[in-house]
Structure 1
């Protein structure tokens, strides 16, 4: 019975909310808090790397959440808040890096490799189809005799 209860509880753990944002961090204005949450979901925790600062319990994530809320309270737009955090921590903190500068190479590398692979596959299939349509050269009498010997006939 204990195992069944434990299994049932473990099944609901992924559905439980994450309580990384502390009550003292929450802004009084629901609209500003919603903006802060939206920005926080797009920023990566520098320590955890796989979590947003909204989901992370790391102290640096708490500091970043407070900075985001301070900038929002100061009247910054969402883009200005993100630019402020990026200027301090670099583009690494963005879950969705900007498609400009050196990042443009990374954004274009995937589609370029896919395109080159498609061109290569098309060329290979086309050459193979043309080679298969060529007439087969008949075996010489010596080759036919050798084949009969090998086949045991």
Structure 2
């Protein structure tokens, strides 16, 4: 058995095994707080905040300089005594709602929350209507005798019987 076939599954697992290491490297040792409880809160907040440079990563996962600045800012605010909500509100006031990976439920973000379920319902309704039309069309075709006249049916039977006789 070739070596690649024997250990090929390890190549598939390698990216999954390295992923936690890559995200752990985003946090520099000088950013870590001495107080374990505050550090835990800071990490939790960092996973909810968007890196403004990477845009699809949290600041906890990003190596961008702005993400580092935001991580340091979160920790400074926590050390100053701010609650988690106060830290998030402060960052939203500075950077806007876009800094949140999960937008808040509000009237101006309602379209974000409703668009997905509405698209799903519209897609399901389209599939149901298409299946019904297809079924109705097949039933109408079957009930009409496939649209053949009596003379055409007789000719078809003659051709089919002639082909059967040749075999």
Q: TM-score range by the shorter chain?
A: 0.7 to 0.9
Question: How does 1:1-150 map onto structure 2 within 5 Å?
Answer: 11=14, 13-16=18-21, 18-134=24-140, 135-137=143-145, 139-140=148-149, 143=152
Give the structure with the higher percent helix: 2
Over the residues paired in the alignment, what is the CA RMSD in angstroms? 3.0
Q: 1:143, CA displacement in angstroms?
A: 4.3
TM-score by length of 1: 0.76
- Flag the 1:116–1:13 CA change in 2: closer, same or farther, 3 A: closer
Q: Deviations over 1:99-120 (max 9, x none)?
A: 3233211211111111122222
Specify every segment of 5 or more residues in structure 1 that has no aligned partner in the other structure, as ranges.
Answer: 1-6
Q: 1:76, CA displacement in angstroms?
A: 1.5
Q: 1:21, CA displacement in angstroms?
A: 2.0
Runs of 4+ in 1 over 4 A off after TM superposition: 141-148
TM-score by length of 2: 0.71
Specify every segment of 5 or more residues in structure 2 that has no aligned partner in the other structure, as ranges.
Answer: 1-9, 163-167
- Flag the 1:139–1:54 CA change in 2: closer, same or farther, 3 A: closer
Q: Deviations over 1:3-42 (max 9, x none)?
A: xxxx99xx46435252222222222211011000100111
CA distance in 2, matches of 1:94, 1:100: 13
Q: 1:140, CA displacement in angstroms?
A: 2.5
- Flag the 1:141–1:51 CA change in 2: closer, same or farther, 3 A: closer
